[in-house]
Amino acid sequence: YEARKFGVRSAMPSITAKRKCPELIFVPPRFDAYRAVSQQIHAIFAEHTPLIEPLSLDEAYLDVTDNLQGIPVATTIAEMIRTKIKSETGLTASAGVSYNKFLAKLASGQNKPDGLFVITPKMGPAFVEALPVRKFHGVGPATADKMARLGIETGADLRAQSLVFLEEKFGKAGPYYYWIARGIDERPVRADRERKSVGAEDTFVNDLFDLESARRELAPLVRKVWRYCAERSIHGRTVTLKVKFADFQQITRSRTIGGVIETETDLATVSGTLLEQVFPVTKGIRLLGVTLSNLSGTRAEADGQMSLTI
C-alpha cells in the first residue's frame, strides 16, 4: 500500500513498477507461508458456510444466506470473520457485503486494507452509476480503453447502452456488462469450482536473450504450477508456453500429450521443448509464462441459495 502513492498497482509488471518507484524493494515470495495462512483464513470462512468460492490465496466469495451459525445478518458475519482473522493470524482483512457477487467485489475494495463496506439493494444501482467502469470487476484495461473510445466512462454511461449495442461491441461479454450496469448479477457462489487451467508467469527487469537464461527463469514457474496441481491432485494434458518480447509482441507455443503430465519433470521437459522452439531470438524476452490445461482430477462444483438480511 505504501507504493500505491507512486502509481504501483497489484499485478503490475515489475519493470513498470520499478520505473514508477525507483526506491521499490522486491522481496522474494514465501508461498509456503502464504498458503499456510490462507488455509487458516479459509478454515475461518468454513465455520460460517460451506459455499466458498476462492479467487486467490487471500480472497473469496462467501454465500452466507443459509449460514452454519444461523445468523440472520450478513454484516454481522463479515465483522465476526474479520475479527477472528485478526486474532488468529494478526492480519487485517477488508470485506464487502452485498446481494450479489459483482457488488460484493466492488464493496470489498472501498475500505481496504482494514474495513467493511455494505451495498444494500437500495444503494446498488446508484452506486454502480457513479463508479468509473475501470473499477468494475471483469472490465480489464483493454476493455476499459475500448469503452472510453465509445464514450463509456461510468456505470451510468454503460447503463445507457442497449443490450444489442453491447453484444455487437463486446460479444459474449455484452450481456454481463448490460446487467452489472444495473446492479444485477445472477452468478451463484460456486464452491470448489472447476478450474480450466493452472498457470504462472513473470515479467523480468532485464530482458532475456539466451536460452540458458530463459531456462533458469522458466524453472520456478514450472515448479509453482506443479506444486499447485500436486496439492490438489490435478493432472493436465496440454502445456502452453507464453512469451512476450520487449516490444510487447506476444507468442504462444502449445503441446498436448497422449496421456497426462504426471510429474514436475514431465512438465519441465515439455515446457523446455516449447521454449527451445522460440530460440534463437532477435529481441529480448520481457515475460515468460507456462500454463497446464485439459485438466482432470478436479473436484465437482456445488452451489446453493436462500435469503437473509444484508
The residues annotated with a catalytic role in the active site are 59
Cα gap 208→95, rounded to integer Å: 40
Residues in contact with 235: Cβ distance below 8 Å, sequence separation at least 6, in sequence order: 229, 260, 261, 262, 295, 296, 297
Residues in contact with 47: Cβ distance below 8 Å, sequence separation at least 6, in sequence order: 68, 69, 84
Residues in contact with 131: Cβ distance below 8 Å, sequence separation at least 6, in sequence order: 106, 154, 155
Cα gap 127→118, rounded to integer Å: 11
Residue found by looking up cell 456445488 in the block? 302
Cα gap 67→52, rounded to integer Å: 11
Rounded (10°) CA dihedral 125, 126, 130, 135: -40
Q: Is the peptide bond before 54 cis (omega within 30 degrees of 0)?
A: no
Q: Would you say 89 and 37 are in contact if contact means Cβ atoms under 8 Å apart? A: yes
User: What is the DSSP code (8-state) at residue 113?
Assistant: T
- Cell representation of residue 167: 453484444
